[in-house]
Homo-oligomer: A and B are copies of this chain.
């Protein structure tokens, strides 16, 4: 319960940890001219199938205004498509296109190799343990037990 100083606090540690991880993936994404967020959108749609914008935003951890822009860009590049939902003119179903799927397939081997290398360096057990602890943290805070 000590006052957190910057060097050992969750906000800074989580930020730095994410940075060192993403640094490994960015060159791959840059070579294919897609952003980290666009990549998340594609992955989520590929895994979950067609989704409405709100659900997609939640699953990809992207805020609605950002998602609006991302969808626009990726529709133009033909990586995703949208279809109106009947009986509700507000909603639309977003789906990954064949080209989008192809991109994911293309990058899959490299993506897995990068991730495996990280896991190998870090250790499989620590890796699993870290994921568990993060999941638990997300759980304990997202259900809003107040500040």
Contact = CB atoms under 8 A, between A and B. Distances in A.
B138 A16 contact: yes
A140 B121 CA distance: 7
Contacts of A61: 12, 15-16, 19
By size class, the interface of chain A is: 35 or more
- Scoring A112, A137, A145 by chain B CB atoms within 10 A of each residue's CB, the highest score goes to A137
Given A47-B6, A115-B3, A20 B142 contact: yes
Contacts of A21: 10-11, 14, 137, 141
A138 B17 contact: yes
B130 A20 contact: no
A101 interface: no
A8 B24 CA distance: 18
A146 B60 CA distance: 28
Contacts of A15: 18, 61
Interface string A90-113: 000000000000000000100111
A133 interface: yes
Nearest to A137: B17
Given A12-B40, A130-B134, 9 more contacts: A1-B116, A3-B111, A3-B112, A10-B118, A13-B131, A20-B137, A24-B147, A117-B146, A130-B137
